[in-house]
Structure 1
Amino acid sequence: MLRRRSVPPEQQVFSLCKDVEVTSSTQITKLLHEVRACTQCAAHLTEGVRPILQVGRNARILVAGQAPGRKVHASGVPFDDASGARLRTWMGIGSDLFYDASKVAILPMGFCYPGTGNSGDLPPRRECAPLWRAHLLAAMPHIELVLAMGQYAIDWHLPKCAGATLTKTTRNWRDLGPQVLPLPHPSPRNNIWLKANPWFALEVVPFLQTRVSAILSQQRTA
C-alpha cells in the first residue's frame, strides 16, 4: 500500500510527494484501486461510497471541482450532468476529448457524493483531499493548467486567495499566473452569478478555450 502523508495545499498544485514516486501505469492503477476502495468517509455518506474521478499520467489539463452530485453518483461518470455540459462548452471541447484521461484529468475536492443539505448538496468531505490529492497530483507530472472551480478548489489550489470572495478571485484571474485558472462552478445554480458578471463569458471563456486548444494541440504534436 502506498504511504500517505498530509502536504500543505500550497505545495500540492504541481509538486511531487517526496515519499511517493508514481512513475508507471501499474503504480497509477494501484493508487486508483486504493482510492476506489477508500471508506474513510463511509459513515457520513448517506448515499454510499462511490469515488468518481479520472486520472491519466499524460493528462495536461486538470479539472478541479467540488464533489459529484446525485446524478453523477448514480452514473459513475464525472460531470455527466448539466454542469458538465456547460463546462465542456466553456472549454470548447466535446465529450471525446473531455473523457480522454490522457488529456484531461478530473479530481473533485471530494470524490464521493456528500449528500444533500438544507440548501443543496453538502460540501465535499474534508477528509478526502488531504488523504489523496497530493498523491494523485504526483501521478500526473505533465499538468499544465488547473481549472479550479468553486471556492473549495480555489482555496486549495490558490491558497493565497483563501478567504477572498469567488467574484474577487475570478475577476483577478489575469494576476494569478498561467497554471491555475479560477472559475465559478458551472452548475445551473450559478446562473444568477453568471448573469450578474457578464465579463466572465466575454473575457475568461474565450481565454480558456484558446488555452485548452493550445495545450491539446501541442500535446498532439509532441
Structure 2
Amino acid sequence: MTDAAVAPGVEELGAAIARCRLCRDAPRGGPQFRLPHEPRPVAVISGKARILIAGQAPGLRVHETGLPFNDASGDRLRDWLQVGRQEFYDADRFAIVPMGFCFPGYDAKGSDLPPRRECAPHWRERVMAAMPQVELVLAIGQYAQAWHLGPARGRTMTETVMDWRRHLGRNEQPAILPLPHPSWRNTAWLKRNSWFAEELLPELQKRVKTLAG
C-alpha cells in the first residue's frame, strides 16, 4: 500500500465515534427504544483505504469482541473478497463502517434488529467526507444500499444487486457495488441466484485486487 498521508480528522472522528452514546441517550421514551446493553460502537475509519465496506450493524459477537465481521458472516465476506483476515483488518486496505455502529439487539423472533435510526443521519456524511480517497463502496444489505444508492436502488435487495452493472457504470465517485448480506440466512438466496457467484464475484475480486492488493 502507499504511504499517503492520513486525511485530516480521521483519528479525531474515530475517537468521537467510539465515545458516541447517541442511541442510548436519545429522548424517544419507553424501554422498547433502549439498547439491551451499553453501546460499543464498532467502525474502522481510514485515511488510506480505497475500499469502504458499508454494512448494516454489528451482531452480538462483533459487539462482544469489538472487531467488525468477526463471525461467520465475516468468513463468507472474506471468501467473496478473496482476502485473509490479516488483509481484511488492515485499515490501509479496507475501511469498515456500518450504517449503525452498535449492536441493536434482537427482535421477538431472535433476529438482529435493524440499525438504529439515529446513527446514519448523525455520522454518515462526516464519515464519507473524512475519507475522500475511497474509490469503491461495497453496500452490503438494504440499509447501506438505501443510503448510498438512494432512489437508484431497486424495489428489493435482489433487484438492486441484480442491477450491479448499472450501479458500477454510473461514473460516480466513489463507485457503488451492492451486495447481499453474507449472513447464513442468505444461503438459500445465494443458491437461487447463481449469477452472483458466476458474474458479480469475479468483478468484485478484480476490483479488490486492484484497490487493496
Q: Same fold (TM over 0.5)?
A: yes
Report what 1:200 is aligned to.
196
SS of aligned partner of 1:158: helix
Gap regions ≥5 residues in structure 2: 26-33, 170-174
CA deviations 1:102-135 (Å, max 9, x no partner) are 1100010000000000230000001101111111
Find 1:68's aligned residue among 58, 65, 68. 58
Q: Give the superposition deviation at 1:206.
A: 1.1
Q: Give the superposition deviation at 1:67.
A: 0.2
CA deviations 1:80-110 (Å, max 9, x no partner) are 0001011011011111111111110001000
Report what 1:181 is aligned to.
177
CA deviations 1:180-204 (Å, max 9, x no partner) are 0000000111111111111101111
Contact map agreement 1:154 1:161 (CA 8 A) in 2: no
Matches within 5 A, 1:115-194: 115-119=105-109, 120-162=111-153, 164-177=155-168, 179-194=175-190
Q: Which amino acid in 1 is paired with 2:202? A: P
1: distance between equivalents of 2:22 and 2:118?
7
Q: Give the superposition deviation at 1:162.
A: 4.5
Deviation larger for 158-167 or 141-150: 158-167
1: distance between equivalents of 2:162 and 2:6?
39
Matches within 5 A, 1:1-222: 27-42=9-24, 44-119=34-109, 120-162=111-153, 164-177=155-168, 179-217=175-213
SS of aligned partner of 1:146: strand
2: distance between equivalents of 1:131 and 1:206?
35
Gap regions ≥5 residues in structure 1: 1-22, 218-222
Per the alignment, do residues 26 and 199 of structure 1 end up closer, same or farther by CA in structure 2, a change over 3 Å counting? closer
Q: Give the superposition deviation at 1:71.
A: 0.7
Q: Which amino acid in 2 is paired with 1:196? A: R
Q: Give the superposition deviation at 1:42.
A: 1.1
1: distance between equivalents of 2:106 and 2:154?
24
Q: TM-score, normalised by structure 1?
A: 0.84
2: distance between equivalents of 1:26 and 1:170?
34
2: distance between equivalents of 1:105 and 1:24?
13
CA deviations 1:51-103 (Å, max 9, x no partner) are 00111101100000000001110111000000101101101111111111111
Q: Which amino acid in 2 is paired with 1:32? A: G
Q: TM-score, normalised by structure 2?
A: 0.87
Q: Which has the higher contact order (CA 8 A, sep 6+)?
A: 1
4+ long deviations beyond 3 Å: 23-26
SS of aligned partner of 2:9: helix
Contact map agreement 1:58 1:141 (CA 8 A) in 2: no
Q: Which amino acid in 2 is paired with 1:37? A: R
2: distance between equivalents of 1:174 and 1:163?
13
Q: Identity over the aligned pairs, expressed in percent?
A: 51
SS of aligned partner of 1:147: strand
CA deviations 1:116-172 (Å, max 9, x no partner) are 002300000011011111111111111111000000000000002346111111111
